[in-house]
Structure 1
Amino acid sequence: MKSTLIAVSFAVLAAALPQDGYGYGYVTRVTSKVSPTPRPTSTSCSITICADYINSCSMGYGGCYPACPGLPTPTFTPPPCPTTTKKPTKTTSKKPCQTICVDAVNECGIKYGGCYCSEEPFPYPKPPCPSTTKTTAKPSPTPAGPRKCGGLLGYQCNKGETCIDDPKSPCGIAVDCLGICIVEQFCGGFAGIQCKNKTDVCIDDPRDSCDPKKGGADCGGLCVPKAWTY
């Protein structure tokens, strides 16, 4: 009776196992159960870490993250440096220099110049002279006539003038005849001194005793306008 029960039990157990597909027997499959990674029972974390980093260009980066056991630690990527950097502006300070002030006058009498630093070139160009049209110089007008002097009324000459006998008069101031006023200028003599004004002529000085018409060889003369003699 017992042997019959054991055979039936094996038969039931064999029917429950899967076949190998070929009808030659049964294959027993065994699977293992994998335990999952333990996770924190709560999502809240009371521990926080803040990381502050500086890259090679002195730029700050980083951040804060929860630091409870079992939580991953984040990584922070440094920001790239700028491709172009602004060059610092060079500041040059000028040294103090001595100030020179120049008041110049060009050949036409025009004033120019001013003040400037002694270490710099003269910054004021000379102004040009105004353009002038050349005109023929007009001859000096012939004096209307000499000022009269002497005579019975005793006419006087202006300051700096001398009263001499009038070359056109038959008598001189010695006999109360009128003379003429001239600016005394010596001429003649052995040196043959010429008058400064080309329109003047040299006449014998009536005030001395030397007379070229009577053999005087070194008689001095006076310059008078030519129109006063003829």
Structure 2
Amino acid sequence: MAAKPSDEQDQPGPAETPHYYGHRTRLRERFQRAGPDALSDYELLELALFAALPRRDTKPLAKLLLKTFGSFAEVIHAPETRLREVDGIGDASIHQLKLIAAAAHRVAKGELKQRTALSSWNDVIDYCRTAMAFADKEQFRILFLDKRNQLIADEVQQTGTVDHTPVYPREVIKRALELSATAIILVHNHPSGDPTPSQADIQMTKAIVDIAAPLGISVHDHIIVGKNGHASLKGMKLI
């Protein structure tokens, strides 16, 4: 049985000139000259894998990853266990993909912290989607804001299963008081991809609003994110 290709099985020998070396050079030059928008998802992904696989043609692997997971974002946020199921993926490739995901998360968080949350709602949504939309388990996150609606803290309160996360309203408000937050934004993800709020989501949000209001803490919104988009309970007039 043929061995499964991996990061450690880089071909070819030193005397050969691989056909893809010229392709790598051209792809790098196009990226530098025209920017990332000039590259398709698979081209950007193969470029990202160059460092992990210096002596392999990364185009077939990039196309296989996109076929398996669906999009560039879904590839870099895919669970490590699922990535390892893809022929040609090893430790170096996984490290590279997760580094890109971490960098995207850090950039989105940095942009959010530099702005007033309510005046840059697109940044809030982008950050929430970058942080959570492609996770394989539900997470419940809270953005704690000061009186100027600037970010004090960003914390994942709970991580649950593929379709449920336990949330305790009094614990949410207790943490807001500890941080002297005057407002919060609730966020959680739906691993199914569909961000439509459930009845349990709505009831839990209303319970938090009811406890927060007498204490002077405003619940600005509850945002649900998924790979297919996002939903705002405030925008839907559900709170």
Which structure's relative contact order is higher, taking Cα pairs within 8 Å and 6+ residues apart? 2
Determine if the TM-score, normalized by the shorter chain, exceeds 0.5.
no
State the TM bucket, normalised to the shorter chain.
under 0.3
Normalized per residue, the structure richer in strand is 1
**TM-score, with normalisation over the residues of structure 1?**
0.20
**TM-score, with normalisation over the residues of structure 2?**
0.19
Normalized per residue, the structure richer in helix is 2
